[in-house]
Amino acid sequence: MNTLAGKHLVLGLSGGIACFKAAELCRALIKAGASVQVVMTDAAEHFMTAVTMQALSGRAVYTSQWDAREANNMAHINLSREADAIVVAPASADFLAKLLHGRADDLLSLMCLARPIDKVPLIVAPAMNREMWANPATQRNVAQLKADCVYVLDVGQGDQACGETGDGRMLEAQEILEDLQAFFAPKLLAGKTVLVTAGPTYEAIDPVRGITNLSSGKMGFAIARAARQAGADVTVIAGPVSLATPRGVRRIDVRSAQDMFCAVQTQVTQAQIFIATAAVADWRPHTQADQKIKKDAAGHTPQLAFIENPDILAGVAQSDRAQNGALFCVGFAAESHDLLAHATAKRLRKQVPLLVGNIGPSTFGQDDNALLLVDALGATELPRASKQDLADELIAEIARRL
């Protein structure tokens, strides 16, 4: 589900060094299928040229309320009526203050004031020095803007152009893009708490060796992102993966199957939906050597004994909360062959209402996948697509079943 496809956004730039990020944001919005009309303040033009933004958006940029291109000389009315939303990025401290007081001394602030509040949402991405952000006046302004139904995005933390470090940076373009996608997404899971497991586990043999699998965690993270965009409160318990945490999702990092089991037991009591995407090791070495196991000069191969790991999915699915309907469980089966037979058997064995099967070797580490949804009524195929698209479909399926 590409929630930005077909949307028309006004992208406003107020003054600040973060204007350079607006160029990347504009490009990302266009790539996501939105059309973008750029409006810049005089201050913004000190940091970014209108020519650059015109090239990226494919539309002439507006900078003045007296723009003669509008036959009725009412750019503030015409541009706002055409928009699905107005996004101001960056929104400087001065511009936030303007919005708060309803000032309208340039085209961008005039347009924000003139927009139909019930039809055209206003979304702002603050950007300023850390002291400016922390100033009580700015914090009061932000609190009142939120109360006035302006959607104020978070700020980032880190190095700032002035040489200082702290809160106040504008979010990166990809972060704003995710927030906008979430803003427009149908809130199918609003008010729900979702727990997702993702990635492989690692079962240590000695300090430098271990047993794992090729799961990248991409499917689980895509599901966590989709659930968050659907309005859920989401926690992901991640094995050892190299993935950025989706926006707005809490993350708990674990290493072994036993670690994941303990984390799930702690978190699942607050969840209403549990999606076990992780490829958890079925066994672990009976003992872990304290030092690296060296080759034997005689060529003898070390003998490893294994014990079974706890079955995380089965334990949760067979709990009282799951059995009485307070917790909806979804399992995953990564198979190498006979997917329907193995997935069907696993669903029955673990007593889950929905089992999602896929062929592991053809999806581990990839950006796309094909899924088989198995429930008490039979099986439904989701054809090969990006993992994010499949995650969106799966979340919609779960919402329907709830």
Q: Any idea how long the chain is?
A: 402
Q: Give dist(CA 348, CA 351) in Å, integer.
A: 5
Strand residue runs (E) in 239-395: 250-253, 273-276, 283-285, 306-308, 328-335, 354-359, 368-375, 378-386
Q: Give dist(CA 382, CA 56) in Å, integer.
A: 35
CB hemisphere CA count around 299 (13 angstroms):
0
pLDDT at 361: 84
Task: Tell me the whole-structure pTM to 2 decimals.
Answer: 0.90
CA atoms 144, 150, 391, 393: torsion sign: positive
- What residues have CB less than 8 Å from 290, skipping those under 6 apart? 206, 207
pLDDT at 388: 95
pLDDT at 273: 98
If you average pLDDT over every residue of the chain, what do you get? 95
What is the SS3 assignment for 234? strand
Domain spanning 193-287+306-401 has what CATH number? 3.40.50.10300
pLDDT at 101: 95
In the predicted structure, residue 297 carries a pLDDT above the cut 80: no
Q: Is 262 marked active-site?
A: no
In the predicted structure, residue 1 carries a pLDDT above the cut 70: no
Each residue's pLDDT tens digit, 177-195: 999 999 999 999 999 999 9
Q: What percent of the chain has pLDDT over 70?
A: 100
- Quickly name the fold that domain 8-184 has: Rossmann fold (3.40.50)
Residue 183's CB: how many other CB atoms inside 10 A? 16
pLDDT at 68: 82
Which residues in the chain are classed under CATH 3.40.50.10300?
193-287+306-401
Q: Which of 79, 145, 138 is nearest to 110 (CA)?
A: 79
Which residues in the chain are classed under CATH 3.40.50.1950?
8-184
pLDDT at 49: 96
In the predicted structure, residue 309 carries a pLDDT above the cut 70: yes
Each residue's pLDDT tens digit, 126-178: 999 999 999 999 999 999 999 999 999 999 999 888 888 899 999 999 999 99
Each residue's pLDDT tens digit, 61-87: 999 988 888 878 888 998 999 999 999
DSSP assignments along 286-315, one per residue? SS--SSPPPPPTT-PPPP--EEEPP-HHHH
Q: Which of 19, 26, 149, 162 is catalytic?
A: 162
- DSSP letter at 27 equals H
